[in-house]
Amino acid sequence: MAGASTTGLLKPLTLPIPSGAIEISPPVVLAPMAGITNAAFRLLCREQGAGLFVSEMVTARALIERNEETLRMITPGKGEFPRSIQLYAVDPRVAGLAVQMLGRENLADHIDMNFGCPVPKVTRKGGGAALPYKRNLFKEIVGSVVKNASEFNIPVTVKMRIGIDDDHKTFIDAGKSAAELGVNWVALHARTAAQMYSGNARWDAIGELVTALEPYGVPVLGNGDIWSGADGLRMVEQTGCAGVVVGRGCLGRPWLFAELVAAFEGREQPQPPTLRKVAEIMVRHGQLLSEYFEDEFRAARDMRKHMAWYLKGFRVGSEIRSQLGMIDDFQQMRALLDQIEEQPYPQEIGEAPRGRSSGVRQVSLPHRWLEDPDEIPAIALDDSVSGG
């Protein structure tokens, strides 16, 4: 489905949050990424412009048990608004209790539901991308969240994948069910769980979902393989989606959001940063992590995993790369960065795919999960997964 003119093609998306409706303009969303999209990284991306920045996935069970690390994960950064939380649940009752807590204690302005995570520790419990296959359970969970959130005027959105694998696609039925239950939009990562992060995202599936949800008036956001501002434009032109969700593309490249804003506003693309500018952004990231963790050593350890992403394509000696991956404080990081000669941004390599990658694999599922899609399985109340 092709758009006409891309400039101005994307209309703002409205979120009717508790304090009054706000516009997400342009509708460019930071995808939740475990271990990445903490408040520090979200602020770093927000400083580049664009629309909505969602927390790391948190589990409903951990929320109602008031897990200390989970509460840290939903604490907004300085000036962060709206407060957007991604919720994982496999039990409708627990999901409802978590939403009641978020609403009563005024902890969220927007809830995004995770039905897209493909990692084994989630799918083997029937969660994430595995759950929409059990269509009645999916309806009960989404219905519980929407009903409880409506008491506090909190909008609910859903993020999902094409399905478990090519033989068990769920995105059209699940998208329609979510629309009927009153979600504000549906975001589709255009891969199956079996694909994990391999191969190319199947943007044609995004277009199929756009067509399927048109009668409901529910927007579809596209996710998968957006590595540049031009990629965002192509996705909208090819699929007719109402917005884009960015995940791995912004790893080590938070300025991707500035590129997407410029692209959707029809402005000239900003100049890519030189190595010195990238180093400044890395220092800023480190400062924000120190404030977030209130512990420089912990912040430095967290920063280590970002080094290769930031420096991808730059000429950096192996010894310095190795030392950057073992920093204990940010003075050490700055000293190492100062030893690298100034260079232009390696555009071709810098805009290449990054982050997690893997081959197609069999999805880990609960025993006999695929036998009856209408069954509502007995889900254990312990729906927590490590990491919140």
Does residue 384 register a pLDDT over 60? no
Instruction: Determine the pLDDT at residue 379.
Output: 61
Q: Which residues contact 345 (CB under 8 A, 6 or more apart)?
A: 272, 273, 274, 275, 278, 313
pLDDT in tens, 258-302: 999 999 988 999 999 999 999 999 999 999 999 999 999 999 999
For the chain, the straight-line distance linking the first and the last C-alpha, in angstroms and rounded, comes to 38
Instruction: Determine the pLDDT at residue 136.
Output: 96
Instruction: Determine the pLDDT at residue 347.
Output: 80
Residues paired with residue 23 on neighbouring β-strands, in sequence order = 14
pLDDT in tens, 206-215: 999 999 999 9
Mean pLDDT of the chain: 91
Cβ atoms of residues 30 and 13 within 8 Å? no
Indicate the pLDDT class of residue 350, thresholds 50, 70 and 90: low
Indicate the pLDDT class of residue 122, thresholds 50, 70 and 90: very high
User: Tell me: domain 13-264, CATH 3.20.20.70, correct?
Assistant: yes
Q: Tell me how far apart the alpha carbons of residues 376 and 93 are, in angstroms, rounded to a whole number.
A: 13
Does residue 9 register a pLDDT over 90? no
Identify the three-state secondary structure at position 125: coil
Cβ atoms of residues 221 and 187 within 8 Å? yes
Instruction: Determine the pLDDT at residue 7.
Output: 46
Same fold, 13-264 and 275-343: no
Burial class (CB within 10 angstroms; exposed 0-12, middle 13-18, buried 19+) of 245: buried
Q: What are the phi and psi torsion angles at 285 (to 5°)?
A: -60, -45
- Kindly state the DSSP code that residue 388 receives in the 8-state scheme: -
Q: What are the phi and psi torsion angles at 187 (to 5°)?
A: -105, 135
pLDDT in tens, 157-204: 999 999 999 999 999 999 999 999 999 999 999 999 999 998 899 999
Instruction: Determine the pLDDT at residue 50.
Output: 65
Does residue 217 register a pLDDT over 90? yes
Does residue 19 register a pLDDT over 70? yes
Instruction: Determine the pLDDT at residue 357.
Output: 60
Q: What are the phi and psi torsion angles at 325 (to 5°)?
A: -80, 0
Q: What is the pTM of this model?
A: 0.91
The encoded tokens of residue 241 equal 């989606």
Mean pLDDT computed over 3-13:
61
Positive/negative CA dihedral, 65, 66, 68, 69: positive
Does residue 60 register a pLDDT over 80? yes
Indicate the pLDDT class of residue 6, thresholds 50, 70 and 90: very low
Percent of the chain residues topping a pLDDT of 70: 92
Q: What does R_g of the chain's alpha carbons equal in angstroms?
A: 20
Q: Tell me how far apart the alpha carbons of residues 224 and 228 are, in angstroms, rounded to a whole number.
A: 12
The encoded tokens of residue 247 equal 């995940």
* 91 φ/ψ sector (left φ>0, alpha ψ -120 to 50, else beta): beta
Mean pLDDT computed over 363-371:
93
Instruction: Determine the pLDDT at residue 4.
Output: 36
Q: Tell me how far apart the alpha carbons of residues 176 and 208 are, in angstroms, rounded to a whole number.
A: 12
Q: Which of 19-33, 283-297, 338-352 is predicted most confidently? A: 283-297
Does residue 383 register a pLDDT over 90? no
Does residue 1 register a pLDDT over 80? no
Instruction: Determine the pLDDT at residue 44.
Output: 94
Question: Catalytic amino acids?
Answer: 117
Q: Tell me how far apart the alpha carbons of residues 251 and 200 are, in angstroms, rounded to a whole number.
A: 18
Tokens 């080590």, located at residue:
252
Percent of the chain residues topping a pLDDT of 90: 82
Where are the chain's structural domains? 13-264, 275-343
User: Tell me: domain 275-343, CATH 1.10.1200, correct?
Assistant: yes
Residues paired with residue 54 on neighbouring β-strands, in sequence order = 84
The Cβ of residue 302 has, within 10 Å, a number of other Cβ atoms equal to 21
Closest C-alpha to 250, from 189, 191, 309, 308 = 309
Indicate the pLDDT class of residue 377, thresholds 50, 70 and 90: confident
Identify the three-state secondary structure at position 93: helix
Instruction: Determine the pLDDT at residue 115.
Output: 97
Instruction: Determine the pLDDT at residue 322.
Output: 96
Q: Tell me how far apart the alpha carbons of residues 257 and 250 are, in angstroms, rounded to a whole number.
A: 8
